[in-house]
Structure 1
Amino acid sequence: MAIFGNLNHMSLGDLLPLLSVQDGALEIFNLEQHPRVTLYFSGGLLQCLYVGGRPAEPLQARGIVGHLVAARRGSFEFAPGARTRRCDRPLGWPLDRLLLATVTVQDEIEGLERSLPHPDTVFALTAERAPEDARLSDFWQRAAALLRRGASARELARRLGMPLEHARYYMLKLRQLELLAPVRARGGQERRSSAAARLLGSLRRRFFGDRQAWNH
């Protein structure tokens, strides 16, 4: 049976239990932050997620599902029996667990809002071990190359195609595991501090150097 409607009347969280017993494709469009998103279901599993016509990596797919569960604007249409498009890495996520994990992360992000790092603070890796948690491990593997040289949550969100709040959340988690540390505050604070330090050093050399000369 075809299902269609609007997310402000029926959220993705309400849809997923209905789709757990059907095979097909759910198209979601008219979204604010994403182009057309297509989710393919088979055997009670989310097998593949396409965004803008391209398959999403697991890390990106988690972020998009989280955004869709919270979205209250957008239209959807479910085509029963639609065959899954080719995925190099099928997701194979049970819908009940996916919904629970997504809601849990969204609630945790809201609860940690004041603790999340500023989007423009630059962080770098302090260790080369991947975390055991699968979600954090996916983020670590995708972001490690960027974090070795230093990157902000805003840059990671843009480069990895994920929501900014999710990038901030994952970076907070890695910092709590002592795998990540800030190297420069937002707005180039480190550069300003360095300039101030150079100026202070110059003044010290000028005045204290002269005082030492007077003492002699």
Structure 2
Amino acid sequence: MVISGNLKESPFQTLIGHFQDRTGVLELWNMPGLKDCKLWVKRGHLRCIEIGKEYIADPLKARDILLGIIAAREGAFELTYKEFKTPCDPALHWPLERVVTSLSLIEEDITLRTIEMPPPNVTYLISGDEGLLDLNNSFFWKRARPMLQHGATAEQIAKALGISLKLSCYYLARLEWLGAVKPAADVIEIEF
């Protein structure tokens, strides 16, 4: 069975409901600012994202792609129910509805400006006792931490991690709010 349409009439958040207990591929194209992609879903779990002929196994890049799709208000889709052998190795195994709900909240934070996004060229450094924070499950923190030890901007981190500037700024804002990082200009070193 094939369902096709556009994201104006059927937003992405609505489409994922079709995969609750089903298996298939969701193709998306003509989304402004985004590349055409395929989402491989097995019984409600996102297994793989395909951009062109590249399979995205990196969780941070996958979240960034999904965030872009959630924000898209234009584009076309074709949903095909079919069994498949997961093309990604390793597969993502993400509960699609939960991930999309989480990312929708991030998009809402950004859109409604409930979190103040830092300028992309401000240098950030690690501050405080990071051991007090539970950041072990943060894909962004694990990958950006080495850069933040010496100071890095959202632009530098986005480029190094291959994610959007928007997502890099968002995560830095969250880390600043948690007290894990500070703008380098706020870090005062006193030498005697």
Settle same-fold status: TM greater than 0.5.
Answer: yes
Distance in 1 (alpha carbons) for counterparts of 2:124 and 2:52: 30
Measured in 2, the distance between the counterparts of 1:129 and 1:28 equals 41
1:69 aligned partner: 70
How far does the alpha carbon of each residue in 1:33-55 deviate from its partner, in whole angstroms, 9 at most, with x for none? Answer: 22221111002111111223323
Corresponding residue of 1:188: none
SS in structure 2 at match of 1:170: helix
Looking at CA atoms only, which structure, 1 or 2, has the larger radius of gyration? 1
Question: How far did residue 95 of structure 1 move?
Answer: 2.5
Q: Is the CA contact (8 Å cut-off) linking 1:130 and 1:141 kept in structure 2?
A: no
Distance 1:168 1:178 in 2: 15
Say which SS state the counterpart of residue 151 (structure 1) adopts. coil
Aligned to 2:93: 92
Structure-2 change in CA distance of 1:128 and 1:49 (3 Å): same
Aligned alpha-carbon RMSD (Å): 2.4
TM, length-normalised to structure 1: 0.74
**Cα distance between partner residues in 1 of 2:14 and 2:115:** 29
Conserved in 1, the CA contact under 8 Å of 2:136 and 2:142? no
TM-score (ref. length: structure 2) = 0.83
Q: What's the CA shift for 1:24?
A: 1.3
**Separation in 2, partners of 1:148, 1:59:** 20
Distance apart, 1:102 and its partner CA: 1.8
Partner of 1:12: 12
Query: Which letter maps to 1:100?
Result: T
CA deviation profile, 1:40-75 (whole Å, cap 9, x unmatched): 100211111122332321111112112211201222
The answer as to whether partners of 1:143 and 1:156 remain within 8 angstroms in 2 is yes
Q: Percent identity?
A: 30
2:146 maps to 145
Q: Which runs of 5+ in 2 are unaligned?
A: 187-192
1:184 Cα offset (Å): 5.4
Paired letter, 1:158 = K
User: Shift of the alpha carbon at 1:134?
Assistant: 6.7
Unaligned runs of 5+ in 1: 186-216
Give the match for residue 113 of structure 2: 112
More helix by share: 1
Give a deviation string over 1:87-106, Cα, whole Å, max 9, x none.
23322222221232122221
Equivalent AA in structure 2 for residue 109 of structure 1: I
In the TM superposition, what is the alpha-carbon distance from 1:140 to its structure 2 partner?
0.6
Q: Is the 8 A contact 2:64 2:163 kept in 1?
A: yes
Which residue of structure 2 aligns with residue 156 of structure 1? 157
Q: 1:26 to 1:131 in 2, by over 3 A?
A: farther
Q: What is the letter of the counterpart of residue 10 of structure 1?
A: S
Q: Following the alignment from structure 1 to structure 2, what is the Cα–Cα distance between the partners of residues 134 and 37?
A: 30
